[in-house]
Structures are given as structure tokens and as C-alpha cells.
Structure 1
């Protein structure tokens, strides 16, 4: 009941949702002497506090040990110098709080949510988890065994793994190709000492930030955060120079992943997208809403509503720090693989040939503007926004000008956006299905490479 109560409070927070033009609420940003960046934002609508902590510890740093970032972030909660894993779990459950680790390509860390009255205990636990994790060997070994089993089962679901194949196919040797949750061979070799070593190298104050959003006074919280984290000494921040990967492909290619017992084909079609800080993100988002970003999109109408070839089709841009991808995504019966792929390609082609009229564009703009403020309707979402600002190096103007940029998009401008960011040739195809039934048919889409889904890795 306490968890439900806190969840309901979170949904009621942040009055900015009701505003016609969303602006990032006022916040304070400062840096501790050890280099750790702190964001504080007061939100007094409900008696909750939300925390987001991020570090340069994402899967981009995994190297040849895919999954190391995820395993390390999960293992932060396996005990500290002051609390055992059961004690952490009991304390959190007792007050209906939430404390969760996470990892992504460019970052890893934790998020938390708790009632104001429980802040002393929860902030102490958070400090212990971040500053004094012990990576208990017994807990780690049990976790590793469970994870290896889950990874072995994961490939039974094409939709759960096709993104890994797609990233590996597009990014090649760039570390965004690394599957964030690892592979069975890499994870089964990991030890608690490996997690501790990854933690010491990547959870550094010089490349870390903590955002606190909720019902508190900034001066009071500033003192608490300084007392809790001001004495944290870590290794120096690593300076890794990365060059954005080249996603300009010379030809169309097809990766066919054979799943002999498959009764349907799951596929992605696409190519180069945009990085996180692309100046054209907003117009790209509006145009993609029309193509495949909502239920009434052209792709879903064509493949689901009008033809019944699938239960759903969409398109999306996945943005990361150094690069991004574009993909059309759906699934269909083995026997309708080619009709579904051809129809998806026809819809994409029509976007280029026909373009958008004022009525279609106005509908998409209204949809995007209505959807935008609720993205930041909770204090937890605002905390994540602040740490995203740190990781991706943007400021509040990116958010504050969002709706005006939506309004400013014209049909003439949309033509350039379509031409620049929605690939129409040299497409990359990843298909998971029964190769014996579809191999000869899908060769027409590009140079064919084949893998077995039961083979290790992606």
C-alpha cells in the first residue's frame, strides 16, 4: 500500500503539466570540491523526494566484457560497508520507497523515490550504495547464475534481442554495438572483483552527477549533499576521446538470423539516425510521428489496420551521445514476410515522394505538443532530465524552446528534414525468422549475411 501511495503522489506532482508552454522549473547547480556535480530543484506539490545519480559507466565502457556495466550497477545494491543486501531491501520496503540501478549506452547509476519523512534513512542508504559498495561475493554469484539463465532464455524472444543484432550490424567496431545486458559467455566469467574494478574505474566524481528533486529547502539539501558526498574520493576521471561512428553505408545489407522454429519474422529496417544533441531533433520527431510514431501513423495504418499483416508497426529514432539510429519495426507471419517488408518500404518511399500537407503536419504538431509536457509530469522525470542534461551536455533551453520549435515547422521545411534524416536507399535490414522459408525471398533487399540465433553473441 505504501508503494501505491507514493506512486499516486508522484503522478500528482509538478504543476507545470497544466501549463500551455512547458518550462524547466528553477533549479540550482553546483560542484563539490571533489568534482561531483549536484542539481537541486524544489517541488513542493507532494511530500516526496526523487534522486537520480549518473556516472560515465555505461555499456560503452564494457570493452570485451559485454554486460559489465549492467552487472556492476545491479551489484551496487548487494551490500555496503554499513548495510547488507537484505537490510537495504527491508529498509526500502518498510517505508514504501524505491531504489533502482540502471544502465544505458552512455551512463549508469541509480534512481530513488521516497517520502520526505524518510529522507535521512534513504539518503544514508544512497550514500552507502554509491560510495561504499562491497560487491558481496555470495550475492554476486547468485545473481550471476540467474542472469546467465535469463540470457540463455532471452533469444527465445526475437523482439527481446533484435535490437542487439541491429546495433551490432550497424555500429560494427564502435562500442554502441555492445549488448548492454551482456552475453552468456561474458557474464558467466564475471566475478565480484571484476565489478569492483569496473566501479572504481568508472564511478568517479569527476564524471558524475546527482540530481535531487522534491519537497525540501535548497539550502538544507545543499548542506546534506555536501556532508554526504563532499568527502568521497575516487580515481581521477578517465579522458576517453571517441570519434563518432560512420553510419553512411555503401550498399543495402541484410542480416538474417535463423530461428528454425520461428513461425513469424521480426524485422528492423533503417540506418543512420541522429545523435542526442541534433539541432533538428524536434522537426525529426514531428515527422516521425506521422510515419510511425503513433497508433494512427502511416506505417501502422498500412501494415495493421488496412492489410492485417501485423499487430503493430512503428518507426523510431534512438539517440545516443555520439550517434543514433533510425528503424522501422514490426513482425509478421513467415508467409507474409516479403509483403510486409515491401509495404513498409512503400510507406517510407511515399514519405519522400508525397511529403506532408498542412493538415497532416498540423495534426502531428498538436499530438507532439500534447504529449510533451507529460514527459516531465513527475519529480522523478525531472530528476532524470537534470542528469540527462549533465550526460548529454545540454541546458534547459533545449526543453524551453521545444514547443515553439514544433510550431515553427512548415511543410516546406519538412521536405528537407525527410530528405536529410529518413533514409530511402542503402537501407540496413535485420530479420529474425525461419531462414529456410524466407532466405531466397529476402536476398533481393541487399547483400545477405546469415547467423544462427543459438550462436553466442550478436
Structure 2
């Protein structure tokens, strides 16, 4: 009989074993990655294209192009697409990002043979109907108008502009009139240039049996997206801008709160320091028990929440601190952030605090890879960011072995005040 008075044994996490996909190179140039798990009769299928903001010549084109794919094909109207997805109880989305665009479906595995032809039709035969484009653009402009009334949107947009410079693809959001002159022909051109099977990565995870695998190979091999010349990115040689102006205020005179964003560019996620920086960031502002939260939320009461985050992309990594505070304590909040940075730089992290963060990060990582979809997400990141297959074992090793002196050194090198940019949206 189980004795509940005795706590279970604690085991150290030495390594993690994530499933590695079976990779098939298809005749049309695409790569099919299969991760099998038949625990549940469900499947997720992702088509991932090099068609994000990084490749657009005009702001907003890649975003609107991705959304238009679901607005009608040679064989289906937008309404018919939605009805067919709903009939099978599935979920299908277009996810547009800075570097990639993904068409994703979640469904019961027994219905994937019905939905795969629909996905291929959406990718192969979009019609870009004029009326649907007008409605989409109108909705997007209205959403943008609403978003630009929010201080957190304006501050993040302004910060990324400070860091990257004007017109860089990694700028968050859009300018007020950034989408006004995007025309339908630009979307069609972008589709023909960047939706190519040459660089297409397809990830299937879940209850994939041998018959389904053969159907994937046969069906996807017929996808022909070499109908245009693959254009290279216009942003490949864009460097990070280091302006002398490190601070900006976006005035919103009627606002009672200010949104504060402080940040800079960090190394790529395949660099030597990246994994160590993840640990440093967790201590500083990465979780609810972080130093920023304890000081500015719990001790000073300036905010409901403050955080720091590391956002890796394929060509850069963004580090930023974010919070919303009452306008009258904006300067005090920034002062306290600087004090916490100075403490990271001048004092060694106590062993007890570091041990707590290590245990939290290891436990969270294990918790975050419990499902096949989450494991596929980790594998997908390795593929798309060209990381080592040992990346996550290296992550665990780094967490376990990092020392207080290493963290102090990282803070001195990467949180130097002269390297940080500050954007504030609120009342002057």
C-alpha cells in the first residue's frame, strides 16, 4: 500500500530524449518530417514556407498574402473552405511570422485524407479574389487602428525601430499608414516568388501509420509551386542599427499609464552564449519569482507585472524588458530596472536563488515537452534555425552547470546601459 507520508524520490535531469523525425526528400524539392505517436488518434500537419516579413520588399505584403490564401481557390470559396474544415471538426490556420509562414491543420487522423487535398488546393490554386482582398484589407486596417491606440503596441513598435532602424523586417507591428498602398498585385507577385516547394518543410506528427505516410508522399509530391522565380530577401545585408539616440517617447496625452520597453539585440540562438543568456534572463525577469517582479511589483507596487524576454529569430535575437505602469512612476520604474541591472553586474547571484531558478527551468522544460505536438515544436525549431540535434541536451547541461560568475560576466557584457534602447508610450 502506498505510504503517503513518504515523499517520492527526487531524480536529477541529466538529458532529455526527444523524438527525431523520419525525413523524406520529395521529388518536388520539399522535405517531409514524420514524428509518429499513436497514443491519441490525432494529427497535426504543418507546411512551412520561407515567406515571412524577412522576404518582403514592402511592409505588410507577406502578412496579407498569407491571409489571402484562405480566401478562395479555383475549387472552393472562402465560405466553402471554412465549412469543410468545420464539417470534419478540424482546425486550420495560416500563421505568418518574421521569417516563415505556416499552414497548419489539427484533426482526427481518420480525416486527414479528406483535408490534405484541401490544404494542397489552398497552396496550389489560390485565386486572390478582389472583393475578398478589399474586405481583408479593410478589416486589417481597422484592427491596426485599434492596436495603435494601445501603449504597449506603440512602445514595442518604437523600441524595435530604435534597435533595427527604419523599414527593417523585424520591426514589430506597422506604422499608422503602413498598409494603405498595398495592392493586390503585390500579393500575387509575392506568392509566386516565395511560395516554393524548393525550400518547403512539412512536419507531420501524431498517429501517422504506413498507409498515411504513403498518402502524404504521393499527395504532397504532386504539389508544384515552382511557377515563379524564387526571389532572395532584400534584407539579407541589413545590419542592426546603432543610433546615437537611444531613447524615444511616443506621446499619448490622454493615457493614465505608460508602457515601458527596454531592449537590445542579442546573439543568435546557435551562438556560444545564447543558452547561458536564457538562464541569466530567467533570474532577471523571466518568471514570476524573478528579480524584476520581486522589486517592482511586490516591493514597490508600481505594476501588476513586469518581465524580460528573449525572442530568437533566424537572423537576430531580440532581448526586451516590458511593463505598464502609472504615468507618475515611469521614471522611478526605469530607475529600479537600472538598479536591478547593476545588481546583476556587481553582485554574484546567491547559490540558493540560482538553485531555485535551475530547478524551475528544468521542471518547466520537462513539462513543456509532454505531448507529441510540443516535441514536434522543439524539433521544428532545430530544423528551421539550423541548430544541433543536441541543442536541448546542451540546454539542460547549461542550466545545471552555469555558475554565478558566468552570469555576472554575461550581465556585464550584454546588459551594459550604453547598449540598451528605451521606448516609452504614454503621457509626457
Task: Tell me the TM-score normalised to structure 1 length.
Answer: 0.85
Distance 1:290 1:324 in 2: 19
Q: Is the 8 A contact 2:347 2:408 kept in 1?
A: no
Could you tell me how far apart the structure 2 residues matched to 1:230 and 1:99 are?
21
Say if 1:222 and 1:116 are closer, same or farther in 2 by CA, change over 3 A. Answer: closer
- Aligned residue runs from structure 1 range 148-163, under 5 A: 148-163=141-156
Name structure 1 gaps, 5 residues minimum: 1-18, 436-458
What displacement does 1:375 show?
A: 2.8
Distance 1:373 1:70 in 2: 34
Shift of the 20–129 alpha-carbon distance from structure 1 to 2, 3 Å rule, reads farther
Work out whether 1:353 is the aligned partner of 2:346: yes
In the TM superposition, 1:32-111 aligns within 5 A as 32-63=26-57, 65-111=58-104
Aligned equivalent of 1:24: 18
- CA shift, 1:33, in A, is 2.0
Residue 24 of structure 1: SS of its match in structure 2? coil
Compared CA separation, residues 153 and 323, structure 1 to 2 (3 A): same
Counterparts in 2 of 1:423 and 1:272: CA distance versus 1, 3 Å: farther
Alpha-carbon deviation of 1:285? 1.1
Do residues 327 (structure 1) and 320 (structure 2) align?
yes
Question: Which of 175, 183, 204 is equivalent to 2:196?
Answer: 204
Match of 2:263 in 1: 270
Match of 1:341 in 2: 334
Instruction: Note closer, same or farther for the CA distance 1:31–1:108 as it changes in structure 2 (3 Å cut).
Output: same
Contact 1:375 1:381 in 2 (8 A): yes
Count of residue pairs brought into register by the alignment: 413
What is the CA–CA distance in structure 1 between the aligned matches of 2:229 and 2:220, rounded to whole Å?
16
Distance across 1 between alignment mates of 2:81 and 2:38: 27
CA 1:377–1:190: 2 relative to 1, 3 Å: farther
Does the aligned pair in 2 maintain the 1:51–1:383 contact within 8 Å?
no
Structure 1 segment 416-435 matched on structure 2, within 5 A: 416-435=409-428
More divergent stretch after superposition (238-247 vs 111-120): 238-247
Q: Give 1:220's match in structure 2, choosing from 211, 216, 235.
A: 211
How far did 1:239 drift?
Answer: 4.1
8 Å CA contact retained: 1:162, 1:267 = yes
2:127 is paired with a residue whose SS is coil
Distance 1:79 1:378 in 2: 33
Query: In the alignment, what sits opposite 2:7?
Result: none
What TM-score do you get using the length of structure 2 for normalisation? 0.90
Q: CA deviation at 1:177?
A: 4.3
Residues 237/392 of structure 1: CA separation in 2 closer, same or farther (3 Å cut): farther
Structure 2 unaligned regions, length at least 5: 1-12
> Partner of 1:376: helix, strand, or coil?
coil
Deviation of 1:340 after TM superposition, in Å, equals 1.0
Q: Equivalent residue of 1:57, what SS?
A: coil
Native 8 Å contact 2:348 2:405 kept in 1: no
Cross-structure match for 1:194: 186
Q: Describe the SS at the equivalent of 1:83.
A: coil
CA contact (8 A) 1:300 1:313 kept: yes
Deviation at 1:425, TM superposition (A): 2.9
Is the alpha carbon distance of 1:236 and 1:374 closer, same or farther for their aligned partners in structure 2, counting shifts above 3 Å? farther
Q: Provide the residue aligned with 1:377 in structure 2.
A: 370
Pair 194,244 (structure 1): closer, same or farther in 2 beyond 3 Å:
closer
